[in-house]
Amino acid sequence: MQPVKQAALPFHAPKDHGPPVTDHGPRTTGDEPPATHDGPRTKYPGPIFVRHARARRYVVSVREDGGVRVTLPRWGSMREAREFFGRLDGWIERQRRRLEADRRKMPRVPDTDRRGAMERARRELPVRLLELAAGLGLTVAKVSIRNQRWRWGSCSPRGHICLNWRLVNMPAWVRDYVLIHELMHLRRLDHSKKFWKLVAEQCPEYHAARRWLRENGRSL
């Protein structure tokens, strides 16, 4: 659940296959990223290029700290990845501005409330996640509860799901949508139409849940 842009055009599979990819999650390509691409004025680090066995397209995402990650499919080339990334300058800039604006708007939760909610989150969220996973026949490698201010959850290629403790302050049906969203990333790591179809099958009210998060998420 972070700003993500995927290559829209059907990139052809190039002859250059890049380094071998194992099932041990993402790895860097070994190629040096274009360090000067962002220009010397930027306060953000250069993009990170990661090759991923399960990625089906080139994917550019902006992390909550404003850093950019470019995911290459197994057959992807650094040249095409850079080309795709280079075309998204304006989009990346807009996402960073939006993230900064969100950060300024986010209210602070008092520390005592936070500790209690964090404990409740550690007790309740992994249990519910694993319950849903079992019902779907999915295996979660690891669950962590995090104090992520700008994301509700994340799923790593190795099946490690991180959940925001603030999920315990949501209505159950909205919380379940976020859990299902992350679980469906065990099947697909992107936000493609196919991914949303998987989500819709398990959580038909997902549009309403996303709307709820947009409208109420910041006050949690």
Nearest distance, CB of residue 157 and Zn ion, angstroms:
13
Nearest distance, CB of residue 89 and Zn ion, angstroms:
23
Using only C-alpha atoms, what is the Rg of the chain? 18
E strands, 12-159, are: 27-28, 48-52, 59-62, 68-73, 142-146, 153-155
Note whether 72 binds Zn ion by CB under 5 A.
Answer: no
Note whether 180 binds Zn ion by CB under 5 A.
Answer: no
Paired residues of 27 in beta bridges: 51
Interface of this chain with Zn ion, residues 16 to 45, rule: CB under 5 A:
none
Task: Tell me whether residue 7 or residue 198 sits nearer to Zn ion (CB atom).
Answer: 198
CB 202 within 8 A of CB 174: no
Note whether 59 binds Zn ion by CB under 5 A.
Answer: no
Task: Tell me whether residue 5 or residue 82 sits nearer to Zn ion (CB atom).
Answer: 5
Task: Tell me whether residue 1 or residue 50 sits nearer to Zn ion (CB atom).
Answer: 1
Kindly report the backbone phi and psi dihedral angles of residue 115, in degrees, each rounded to the nearest multiple of 5, phi listed first: -60, -45
Question: Nearest-CA neighbor of 213 among 183, 176, 184, 185?
Answer: 176
Nearest distance, CB of residue 119 and Zn ion, angstroms:
26
Instruction: Output the residue with the shortest Cβ distance to Zn ion.
Output: 1
Note whether 199 binds Zn ion by CB under 5 A.
Answer: no
Nearest distance, CB of residue 83 and Zn ion, angstroms:
25
User: Which string of b and e fits 16-45 if b means at least 16 CB within 10 Å?
Assistant: eebeebeeeebeebebebeeeebeeeeeee
The stretch near Zn ion (CB under 5 A) out of 1-9, 30-38, 71-79, 86-94 is 1-9
Nearest distance, CB of residue 15 and Zn ion, angstroms:
32
Task: Tell me whether residue 44 or residue 196 sits nearer to Zn ion (CB atom).
Answer: 196
Q: Give the binding-site size for Zn ion (rule: CB under 5 A).
A: 1
Neighbouring C-alpha atoms within 13 Å toward the C-beta of 32: 4
- Position among 1, 55, 60, 62 found at the interface with Zn ion (CB under 5 A): 1
CB 153 within 8 A of CB 181: yes
Residue 23 three-state SS: coil
Nearest distance, CB of residue 77 and Zn ion, angstroms:
26
Residues that bind Zn ion (CB under 5 A): 1
